[in-house]
Amino acid sequence: MAVVRLEVSDGVGTIRLDRPPMNALNAELTVELRAAALEATSRTDIRALVIYGGEKVFAAGADIKEMAGLDIAGIAAWVRDLTSTFELIARIPKPVVAAVTGFALGGGLELALCADFRVLAENAKVGLPEITLGVIPGAGGTQRLPRLVGPSRAKELVFSGRQVRAPEAEAIGLADRVVPAGEVYAAALSLAGTFVNGPAVALAAAKQAIDDGSELAISEALRLESALFTGLFGTEDRRRGMESFVERGPGKAEFVGR
């Protein structure tokens, strides 16, 4: 039985984690998550994406029982597979929203950090508790979290391993929206849906410019931005957007995603 499903409705894809009771991340889930990410990347009928763990929990972390029995070579392969899968998700060239209910801890939070936006339930708790196991986050937590909330806050969270409630997560920039628990998925779908009719190639370029540019010196990042901007002049959506602006004013273009 599949533990990850990809569903599509009205241009929005949903990657659903379904490994009860806590969506613990194991090797099987990693393989299926990778396949779902690749499919979501390639499908032209998916213009935006939601990652959702269900009404009760997003993902409460890695499967510690599976990890505990591994030697150094085994854990190296395990974390390599998980990290490369998360990188595939982070590189999906479409807007991605994490819909977080219940717990998003350890690898669960690391997965949510791969999204462009995070919608949290009011009762959600997030954190990186790996330090309490005598290790550190190994699938992006020490890298993506400080880029989002700053090094000092990230160090406090990683060093302590404490869980953060939704209001604090929103205050420090870890959550983009906090909504009642029963509205998380709908709110995430609504947010993702705002991008469905946008210029898909330009959205992908914008995501690449921001994500890749943040890793470069400003002069290199500006060159990347200029190159991506220039390349968009070969797209149908650029032609439609500019013609519509000239003829009818701003905000009225109908894009086709190419």
Instruction: Please list, in sequence order, all residues whose beta carbon lies within 8 angstroms of the beta carbon of residue 192, skipping any fewer than 6 positions away.
Output: 12, 48, 49, 50, 95, 96, 97
Catalytic residue status for 168: no
pLDDT of residue 1: 83
Q: Are residues 56 and 182 in the same domain?
A: yes
Catalytic residue among 53, 102, 107, 241: 107
Mean pLDDT value of segment 122-132: 97
Mean pLDDT value of segment 92-116: 98
Catalytic residue status for 62: yes
pLDDT of residue 249: 86
Task: List the structure tokens of 238.
Answer: 């650029």
pLDDT of residue 251: 84
pLDDT tens track for 178-213: 999 999 999 999 999 999 999 999 999 999 999 999
Taking CB atoms within 8 Å and a gap of at least 24, the contacts of 220-229 are: 229/205
Bridge partners of 6, per DSSP, are 15
Q: Per the domain annotation, does 255 fall within a domain?
A: no
Angstrom distance (rounded) from CA 158 to CA 153: 9
Catalytic residue among 62, 187, 202, 209: 62
Q: Are residues 244 and 139 in the same domain?
A: no
Angstrom distance (rounded) from CA 209 to CA 196: 20
Among the three residues 150, 178, 193, which one is the final residue of a domain in this structure? Answer: 193
Q: Are residues 149 and 50 in the same domain?
A: yes
- The number of distinct structural domains making up the chain is 2
Statement: residue 252 has pLDDT above 90:
no
Q: Per the domain annotation, does 26 fall within a domain?
A: yes
Q: Are residues 42 and 130 in the same domain?
A: yes
CATH, residue 96: 3.90.226.10
pLDDT band at 241 (very low <50, low <70, confident <90, very high): very high
Task: List the structure tokens of 65.
Answer: 């029982």
75 burial type by CB count under 10 A (0-12 exposed, 13-18 middle, 19+ buried):
middle
Catalytic residue status for 236: no
pLDDT of residue 174: 98
Across the chain, mean pLDDT equals 96
pLDDT band at 67 (very low <50, low <70, confident <90, very high): confident
Check whether the bond before 21 is cis (ω within 30° of 0).
Answer: yes
pLDDT of residue 37: 98
pLDDT above 70 coverage of the chain, percent: 100
Q: Are residues 59 and 172 in the same domain?
A: yes
pLDDT tens track for 132-157: 999 999 999 999 999 999 999 999 99
How far lies 157's CA from each of 31, 104, 195, in Å? 29, 14, 32
Q: Are residues 186 and 75 in the same domain?
A: yes
Q: Are residues 171 and 209 in the same domain?
A: no
Mean pLDDT value of segment 23-48: 97
pLDDT of residue 68: 87
Mean pLDDT value of segment 85-100: 98
Catalytic residue status for 107: yes
Q: Per the domain annotation, does 91 fall within a domain?
A: yes
Q: Are residues 54 and 105 in the same domain?
A: yes
Q: Are residues 71 and 101 in the same domain?
A: yes
Catalytic residue among 108, 130, 138, 175: 130
pLDDT of residue 113: 98
Statement: residue 227 has pLDDT above 90:
yes
Catalytic residue among 11, 110, 124, 257: 110
Task: List the structure tokens of 171.
Answer: 């205050």
Structural domain span for residue 210:
200-248
